Amino acid sequence: MKRIQAVEGFTPCWVWQLKPDKHGYGYGTDTKATGGSARAAYRISYQAFVGPIPDGLHVDHLCNNRICVNPSHLEPVAQRENCLRAVERDYVNGTGHWDQLEVCRRGLHPMSGTNLLTDFHGGRWHRGCRACQSAQAAIYRAEHPEAELRGRRARQARDRAKTAERKAARKLAKLNAA
C-alpha cells in the first residue's frame, strides 16, 4: 500500500494520499483484494490487513475520518448500525463530520486559526484547509506554467501594461508636437 501515510501528532489515522472523491473517501485498485477493479481505499485496506468483509456488512470508520484506511479504525457492521452511527455523528443532510473535524481531510493540519478557510456557497458554509489548498495550487502552477497569470493578477498585469503603453504614447506625442 504505497499510497498510505501514517500521520503522527494530530491523529493515529492512516491517511490516503490521493485525492478523495466528492464524498471524501479515497479510491484505488488492488489486484489481490479486488481483482483489479476500482474500490474504496478503506475496503481495500480492510481486506488486505484483516481479511474478507463478511457478506451483508458495511465497513464503518470508528475514527470518523473518511479518508482513513487504518484497519484498526475500521469495523464491519450491518447497514442499519452504520446508518444509526451516521445519525449519531450528524452525517445526515451534509451536517457534521467535516464541520466537526479538528484536522484537515488529509490529517496533516489543524482546522483552526489562520489555517481555516470558510466559504459560503451552495446555500451553506464550507470549511477548508489553507495549507492543503496552497500546496495543491503550487503543484498546479508547477505543472501548468502557462496558467500562472489568471484572474486578478492577470488583470493587474494587463492594466499595468496598458498604462505603460499610454504613457509611452503620450511622451511620443509630446516629442512629435515639439
User: Would you list the domain boundaries of the chain?
Assistant: 4-147
CA distance 26 to 126: 20
**pLDDT for the residue 154:** 73
The percent of residues above 90 in pLDDT, for the chain, comes to 10
Mean pLDDT of 3-29: 71
Q: Domain 4-147 belongs to what topology?
A: Homing Intron 3 (I-Ppo) Encoded Endonuclease; Chain A (3.90.75)
Neighbour tally for 116: CB within 10 Å: 14
Query: pLDDT by residue (tens digit) across 122-141?
Result: 776 777 888 888 888 888 87
Residues 60, 82: contact at Cβ < 8 Å?
A: yes
Residue with C-alpha cell 499510497? 3
Query: pLDDT by residue (tens digit) across 71-122?
Result: 988 999 998 888 888 767 654 444 445 556 677 777 678 878 888 888 777 7
**pLDDT for the residue 57:** 93
Q: Is the pTM of this model over 0.85?
A: no
Residues 119, 130: contact at Cβ < 8 Å?
A: no
What are the C-alpha distances in Å from 74 to residues 41, 46, 53, 121, 124?
Answer: 12, 7, 11, 32, 30
| Average pLDDT along the chain | 77
**pLDDT for the residue 36:** 63
